[in-house]
Amino acid sequence: MLEYISAPEAAKKWGISERRVQKLCEENRIPGAFKFSRMWLIPTDAEKPKDMRIKNR
């Protein structure tokens, strides 16, 4: 059975803001994440998506 964490827990785990985690969920960038009522649930084994705002030279 899959276990899930909330957006605030994922934010703390990945070192980013809760709002950024919510945006990543809204953009379907976190596989397996879904919205339950008003809360995003993220699989505990999900990895932090790469930041597409940073470009390598």
**CB of 6 closer than 8 Å to CB of 20:** no
Domain coordinates of the chain in residue numbers?
A: 4-43
Residue-wise pLDDT tens digits, 7-35: 999 999 999 999 999 999 999 999 999 99
Instruction: State CA 35 to chain mean position distance.
Output: 11
pLDDT at 50: 86
pLDDT at 51: 79
